[in-house]
Amino acid sequence: MKGGQLEDKTPYRPCPFCKRDLNQIKSRNRTVYAIEDTAPVTRYHLLIIPFRHCETYFDMTREERCDAHDLIVSLRRQILMEDETVTGFNIGINCGGDAGQTIFHTHIHLIPRRNRDTPSPRGGVRGVVPDKMDY
């Protein structure tokens, strides 16, 4: 205890999205940018990230959410032009540790999908709870 408060023993880890390499940015607009996912689910898997540090989607401003939407639409168009095998997309956001968030700076996954890239795509993002995917 220090000055009447509990001491935080959590080791400081700088936010990887705040400490960004500008050379990694694939696209951007006013308040958000896109980079490739370092552990991609599929080819062209991108992350759309606010420049401002905010923990979850619910902490984003209206302007950031609108800019994220606009960038997602633009990136989708680019991906479809570059890869004719793309037939669908998953858009995902993990908010909180119990939802699978591991980097606590908002990031939106844009994951291109292709015919037969998985034996049964039915349920899509419901796959986060495997028993609930096939309905």
**What's the pTM?**
0.86
Q: How far is CA 24 from the centre of its chain?
A: 15
77: left (phi over 0), alpha (psi -120 to 50) or beta: alpha
Domains of the chain: 22-117 (3.30.428.10)
Lowest model confidence (mean pLDDT) among 15-19, 27-31, 74-78, 115-119: 115-119
Q: pLDDT value at position 129?
A: 75
* Residue keyed to tokens 């209206």: 62
Residues assigned a catalytic role: 107
The structure tokens listed for 10 are: 């959590």
pLDDT at 108: 98
Alpha helix stretches (DSSP H) within 2-85: 62-82
Token digits for 118? Answer: 């998985």
Concatenating the DSSP letter of every residue in 4-24 gives: TBPPP-PPP---TTTS--GGG
Q: Tell me how far apart the alpha carbons of residues 95 and 110 are, in angstroms, rounded to a whole number.
A: 15
Instruction: Find out whether 91 and 109 touch, Cβ atoms under 8 Å.
Output: yes
pLDDT value of residue 128: 67
Q: Is 80 exceeded by the pLDDT of residue 49?
A: yes
Q: Residue 12 — very low, low, confident or very high, per pLDDT cuts 50/70/90?
A: low
Sheet hosting strand 46-50, strand order edge to edge: 27-28, 32-36, 46-50, 108-114, 86-92
